[in-house]
A = this chain, B = another copy of it.
Amino acid sequence: MAETPVPQIAQRPKRADGRRNYDALLVAARTAFAEHGSDASLEDIAHEAGVAIGTLYRHFPTRATLVEAATRDGLEVLVSHARDVADRLAPLTALTDWMRHAVVHFSTFRGLVGILAQSMYDEGTPSHAMCAAMHTSGADLLRAAQRAGEVRADLTADELFGLLSGAAWVRETTRAGKDETERFIELVIEGIAVRTAGP
């Protein structure tokens, strides 16, 4: 298993009021993003957190840094989940299970997939480090499934993430439920899995 560095992008502020406001902003941001997508009004978020707009910008100089902070935990869970399933499940099952979780996380709120897809290859974006770690996680699972002969050998990790984010985008724009998402992933798996002997 390849090394998955744990990125520390921005240490939290030190002063008590600073820490308090930072947390309040994060809570407000998560709510606002869930409701209005990644382009929710920053001034509303600041107001909701009981803080002036300048304070928001002090903690999060760009929208991207706020999104990153609001979604970091979820991505961390995703990365550790990859290690977990790799240990517990058969290769293709592990990959499938992880893909399910990835799609759900990517579509946490409208606009997230776009940001993550961007960050995956664009260093310099706040989310890049976490995305790179996640890329490694996915690639490891893919490689294992390929070694086991369960996934077509010519599929690259980038292609896998293309399929994954496409699925997440569809989920987020159609507000698909559990069943539709499950079905969609099944179709994708069908396309990348090596067929076992037919009837």
Contact = CB atoms under 8 A, between A and B. Distances in A.
A155 to B, nearest CB: 8
A12 to B, nearest CB: 31
Contacts of A198: 195, 197-198
A140 to B, nearest CB: 20
Contact of A117 (B155, B163, B174, B192): B174
Contact of A184 (B159, B174, B183, B184): B159
A163 B192 contact: no
A117 B187 CA distance: 19
Most buried by B among A155, A159, A190: A190
Contacts of A174: 117, 162
A188 B163 CA distance: 9
A196 B163 CA distance: 24
Interface string A153-170: 001000100110111011
A114 B37 CA distance: 14
6 contacts: A117-B173, A162-B184, A169-B169, A189-B191, A190-B192, A198-B198
Given A117-B173, A155-B187, A190-B190, 20 more contacts: A117-B170, A117-B174, A118-B173, A159-B183, A159-B184, A162-B170, A162-B176, A162-B180, A163-B184, A163-B187, A165-B169, A165-B173, A166-B166, A166-B169, A166-B184, A188-B191, A190-B192, A195-B195, A195-B198, A198-B198
